[in-house]
Amino acid sequence: MSGSVWLPPGSRPDTLPGIPRQRTPSWAQPDPVDELAVRLEDFIAAAVHPDEIAALLESDGLSDDQIRERYGVKNSFALAETLYERVERRYPEPDGPLHDPWRIGLLGCLLRGLVFALPGLAYVLGAPLFTGPGDFGLPAGTVPLLAGALCGWTWNQGLAHRAYAWLGLGDRTAARRALLLGAPAGALLGSLVALAFAGGAAPAVVAFAAGQSCYLAAATVLLVMGRERFLLAALAPMAMGAVLSLADPLPEAVSLALLLGSLAAVAALAVREVAPALKEPGEGGWTAGLVALLPFGGFGTTPAHRRPAGPRLTGSLPYALFGLATGVLVLYAALGDVLAGETDSAVAAPAAVALTLSMGPAEWLLYRFRSDSLAGLRSSSTPQDFWRTTVLTVAQCLAAYLAALLALSLTASLLWPQSPVPGGVRLAGLLLLGVVLWTGLLLQSFGAVTGATAVCCAAALVQTLLIATRTGDPHTAGLAVYGAAAVVQAVLVCALLGRATAHR
């Protein structure tokens, strides 16, 4: 065994005789499907469905005949399913920071909440104008003002949705034209409603209600077009005058000048905002504004095959009814003391102020919920995990909103002259109403406005019937109505928003 290797004659000592290569059996050859899985591993691991892999195979030029010959399967879809099963799912994280379209600054939302609340100071300056007999136990001039306000809230909520729908389609001109015709129509309608409910109120009250309707219409234009800072600047002189008048009443002429000045400034800014709709070219000229308000666009201006489908007019109706229902619920919360027979109505005023100011944090928390839901979609691996994440996020955002509402209510009660700290029943009713409002806005932001509108309208109708028939104490009745509506809407939120498809 230790001898040298025998070499045939003529061979060199540094070479070895050739050894015949043995043929590898077919069963020992590597599986071509495994080789393909290794080559496409990164793509296959990140695929969410076998059809993605089939599309890649077809894009590489593999025909069904080639797949049957090389891989022994029927077609590209069968091969894709085999590859999908052999490679473990592994979804890579995107490079760089994740894009979050729902992240928004808190300051801007707080600014909008302040803009919502500042117009209430106009009633401080206009208080000397409210003369005449009172109705339903309310102070003089309250009924026409409330009627005009409810009409304005209803109309402008629907108009705002209409304009936002056009903005969502990328047609800013159509949005301006809808506001150009819709805002004056809403102001006129609110003024007529206030006049119809004026009764024996003084003409100054009717004039103030007409100014209120004009302000609501002009402010809707500025808020829809994102001009909150302009609106705040226009309201600043009136707000400062109202604050000064709380310490020392201003002369009536000065108060009237501040009211008319702020109203004229807001109206001028609104006209300036929609004026480009008159200058920008568009089919139909002046009729384009009417076209923007029609359900399916205009006729005879653009060929049917080129005319983009506009938002349906009936699509704005649920939003208008939602504005009416929530307005009624808020008014009942603010007038609960008067409706209960208490002569001091100042107790209810801090609740209305707190609810108005809380709309700023409420809007920010709606964005926060959308942002956290997006993170939940990335981190959840099963539908049950996502549902639990969504419910937890709703609970956290709702708790934060209720904490802000409670803090605002207690602060307003401490700062409001001659206003005691609200009791347990009053605070519980206010917080439950906050649940109804925030969950309703949450459903509305996801397009589930029909359910929220139905619940809020039913709650407003039930509370109206209870008050009209004088069934029970208004505070207790309100607590029961708000509690029932809050439970129903909480169930709707958990059922609808716990599905991943609702967050597309």
The pLDDT, as a whole number, for residue 458 is 96
Question: Cβ of 105: how many Cβ atoms within 10 Å?
Answer: 10
The amino acid at residue 371 is S
Structure confidence at residue 1 (pLDDT): 43
- How many percent of the chain have pLDDT more than 70? 81
**pLDDT for 303:** 45
Cβ atoms within 10 Å, residue 60? 9
- At 290, the amino acid letter reads L
Average pLDDT value for residue range 173-179: 91
Range of weakest confidence among 136-140, 195-199, 421-425: 136-140
pLDDT tens across 258-294, in order?
999 999 999 999 999 998 888 765 544 444 445 445 4
Rounded to an integer, what distance in angstroms lies between the CA atom of residue 95 and that of residue 225?
Answer: 35
Q: How many CB atoms lie within 10 A of CB 445?
A: 16
Q: What is the 3-state secondary structure (H, E, C) of 393-432?
A: HHHHHHHHHHHHHHHHHHHHHHHCCCCCCCCHHHHHHHHH
| Range of lowest pLDDT (89-103, 273-287, 426-440, 464-478) | 273-287
Q: Stretch 239-248: mean pLDDT, rounded? A: 86
The two three-digit tokens of residue 94, written as one number: 């995107």
Which pLDDT score is estimated for 452?
93
Mean pLDDT of the chain: 82
- Is 459 or 295 the better-scoring residue by pLDDT? 459
How many whole angstroms separate alpha carbon 389 and alpha carbon 370? Answer: 12
Higher pLDDT pick, 415 / 497: 497
Q: Name the 3-class secondary structure at 427.
A: helix
Q: pLDDT at residue 439 above 90? A: yes
**Kindly report the CA angle at 327 between 446 and 237, in degrees rounded to 5?**
100
Q: Which residues contact 322 (CB under 8 A, 6 or more apart)?
A: 157, 440, 444, 449, 452, 453, 456, 457
Q: Which residue has the tokens 């489908």?
A: 309
Q: Which amino acid is at 217?
A: A
Q: Which of 83-97, 188-202, 311-325, 394-408 has the highest mean pLDDT?
A: 394-408
